[in-house]
Copies of this chain bind each other. A is one copy, B any other.
Amino acid sequence: MADGDAKPLSKPRRRRPGRAVTIEDVARVAGVSKGTVSRVLNGHDWVSPKTRQAVAEAMASTGFVANASARSLATSRTGNIAFVLGAPPVRLFEDPNYAVLLQVITEELAQLDYALMLLTASTREEQARVAKFVREGHVDGVILVLVGEAGTDELISLLRSSRIPAIACGHPFVGDDPLPFVAADDTPGARQLARHFLARGYRSTAVIASHLETSGGKSRVAAFTGEAPGLVRDDLIIEAHEYSRAAGQHAMRTLLETRPDIDSVFAASDLLAAGAIDALHEARIVVPRQIAVAGFDDSAIAQQTDPQLTTVRQSVADVARQLVAQLRIGLDAGVMASVTVPTQLVVRESA
């Protein structure tokens, strides 16, 4: 053989054993080109039924699965959305609302074929990590859940400077150029509740608040007291250190020791209210006859207390849905808007 050319001819290695089957393998088996395979893979038109059929069979017989990274590189879309927590996860899990939030978001996103990435950003380093992560192009969009934590504004501006759509859950507390957000408007529900208290004839109500540094924590109390100025004396507003049942119980005990002259209490969350009821039970006080109790959130626990809680429903599920709806607009290169979902009184037995 006249094999004068010693150049190591490009080895036609059919397929390294360990390697995954690629679009090219499928093409060979189906007797078509890569381009065509790509077309049927993405459901594009302009492919004859029989070719499509042949490709489909080839894909099945070879056990082909499209490679995510290659796809992302070519399309510059990842199919991932970041769920960024502005607080350590434990804090988040205290509140049953977040379980629903996460679940609904996951579901809605899955329906659009997006997957969720869970990131925490409660410290400076974590925030930097998140910012980098986002700019590296790991995700197509961001949902930011800040539980009123400090130092969030840096993250937000970093997010803004990146190209990808980001939306906040709850009011982002930044002066200059806030993110679009979705938040529940506590005001209408809290007002309705205040009027309900008035209608019931209560004369003196205490408020167990929490996280007064957040918009949510503030507005509930403000709207309630604003609607019924005479009902709540300033010194009857007590702040629990967290939205937990234990904290509610503790607060109520304190209240009972120092202010026995109240006939009703408004707790800024159902968990707080449940704790308050616990304390009232301890003290052999009948709810609502001697002291009425109302909560906020209408979370699952509202129907598990005895008596069941009169409360204000903020549909976290709706918030979640609005969140993805806006995000979807953003992903579609549209301009996202901020949306406020209303909140509503739910009268049960405790007040």
Contacts and interface: CB of A to CB of B under 8 A. Distances in A.
A117 B120 contact: no
Given A106-B120, A136-B67, A93 B90 contact: no
Copies of this protein in the complex: 2
A211 interface: no
Interface residues of A, number: 52
A51 interface: no
What's the dominant secondary structure at chain A's contact region?
A: helix
A237 interface: no
Interface string A134-145: 011110000000
Interface stretch (A70-78, A215-223, A260-268): A70-78
Contacts of A246: 301, 304
B103 A88 contact: yes
A136 to B, nearest CB: 4
Contact of A110 (B67, B116, B126): B126
Nearest to A275: B304
Interface string A38-77: 0000000000000000000000000001111110110010
A316 to B, nearest CB: 12
B72 A118 contact: no
Contact of A117 (B76, B107, B117, B245): B117
14 contacts: A18-B163, A67-B136, A68-B137, A69-B78, A80-B138, A93-B96, A102-B118, A107-B120, A110-B120, A110-B126, A115-B117, A116-B119, A118-B118, A246-B304
Interface of A: 18, 20, 65-70, 72-73, 76, 78-80, 83, 88-90, 92-93, 96, 98-100, 102-103, 106-107, 110, 115-120, 126, 129, 132-133, 135-138, 163, 244-246, 278, 281-282, 301, 304
